[in-house]
Structure 1
Amino acid sequence: MRSSKIIAFDIYGTLIDTKGIFNQILRLVKDEELALNVVDMWRQKQLEYSFRRGLMRNYVDFSICTKQALEYVIKYYNLDLSEVEIKNLLDIYKELPVFSDVKISLDKIKENNIRMYAFSNGKPDDLVELLKFNGIINYFDDIISVDPVKSFKPDPAVYLYLLRKTNGYHANVYMVPQTLLM
């Protein structure tokens, strides 16, 4: 019998390791501390831009927030990256790895017949590509992007959209947010 519980997983930072781009950045900047700072600030700005856009009701898709955050970091650290290098980094972002414990954890949840959803600020096609690349797409009953709502988490409208898409209600849908150890 299928559980009435529903678990919605944030993708970036929860299932997918956004620091997985570190080696590519290190090859470009050739300084380990700088590479780590670039990775951290890129993610911080990506989240900041999406949060602010959600609050301002000034939606663009998440890939634009990702690109603008990278552009900010490049200017902040005065990095000399070519357009090709920037495009390559943005393309690699679509192939970030899963955290090492993700598949084991998803297997355990699936054993309990709990419905699982991937829920993200990302564009639907990017999410499908990323989850397929990592071999975890089949764990999920559906992939839910905030894109149709034209806002970002933490806007309450996106969580109401999640409830509608899963046929869930507040008491049976559990959200697994991004990790705090970014």
Structure 2
Amino acid sequence: MKQVLAFDVYGTLINTQGVLVLLEKMVAKKALLFSEIWRSKQLEYSFRRGLMKRYEGFSVCTKEALDYTCDMLKIALTSEQKKQLLESYKTLPVFDDVEKGLSQLQRNYQLVAFSNGEKESVEKLLNNANIRSYFKDVVTADEIKTFKPDPDIYQHLLNRAHSKANQTWLISSNPFDVIGAKSFGMNAVWIKRSRSAVYDPWGIEPNIVIKRLDNLNQQLNNL
């Protein structure tokens, strides 16, 4: 049986900074700061909801984080502008190394998209990016009403992929996800998408660190 490669979607395959183009039109010089706070709060809200066992879909976390960011930066966006920003999350661009990397890996591995997002949104996002066909399955948080890094969602992945932890790899640009998978007993790859990215000093290290997805196939072949 082929080993399973499970790919985080937002920030790993899909560039969440793609929203910057629209933000620059709306908030000008505050666009980058706005985007960073929005993304940070989006993740924080998913973590908090997971811990509290008060699940709401990732789209709800995204909307609430958008409202928070507007309040924090004292930026009064209209309801139509907020709607445009939320809609942009469904059509974010893919990183330029993704299609080549997936094409290489598809030959020898079973590929799965694995996301905290809702199934419908993730399917639409992957289809818009023209990469859905590379994945045998799309596994999402809403199927069991919790978020990564809850151990239950990694077990859900293994159940869906009919795989074992030591035969499954998590590929993510998010350190919390890498640490979550490693803690669960899986293998993990950290994609360091930014020079300024810092890995959490928990003593739980990824098996592989890469800067581009199209470097992963060679790294796995070298193991």
Partner Cα separation in structure 1 for residue 121 and residue 165 of structure 2: 28
1:87 matched to 2:44:
no
Question: Which residue of the other structure, out of 97, 103, 106, is the alignment partner of 2:102?
Answer: 106
Number of aligned residue pairs: give it: 177
| TM-score scaled by length of structure 1 | 0.94
Partner Cα separation in structure 2 for residue 174 and residue 105 of structure 1: 15
Local SS of the residue matching 1:23: helix
Q: How large is the Cα RMSD of the aligned pairs?
A: 1.1
Q: Which runs of 5+ in 1 are unaligned?
A: none
Q: Which amino acid aligns with 1:50?
A: S
Question: Which residue of the other structure, out of 41, 45, 54, is the alignment partner of 2:50?
Answer: 54
1:140-168 Cα shifts (integer Å, max 9, x gaps)? 00111111211000000000000000001
1:93-149 Cα shifts (integer Å, max 9, x gaps)? 1100011100111011013x2000000011100011000000000000011111121
Q: Which amino acid aligns with 1:10?
A: D
Aligned counterpart, 1:165? 160
Q: Which amino acid aligns with 2:77?
A: L
Q: Which runs of 5+ in 2 are unaligned?
A: 175-191, 198-223
1:5 matched to 2:3:
yes
Identity rate of aligned residues, in percent?
Answer: 40
1:68-113 Cα shifts (integer Å, max 9, x gaps)? 01111010011121000000100011100011100111011013x2
Question: Which residue of the other structure, out of 122, 142, 158, is the alignment partner of 1:127?
Answer: 122
1:140 matched to 2:135:
yes
Partner Cα separation in structure 2 for residue 22 and residue 97 of structure 1: 11
1:36-64 Cα shifts (integer Å, max 9, x gaps)? 00111111111111011111111000000
Partner Cα separation in structure 1 for residue 19 and residue 43 of structure 2: 16
Local SS of the residue matching 2:7: strand
Partner Cα separation in structure 1 for residue 130 and residue 2 of structure 2: 25
Partner Cα separation in structure 2 for residue 44 and residue 178 of structure 1: 14
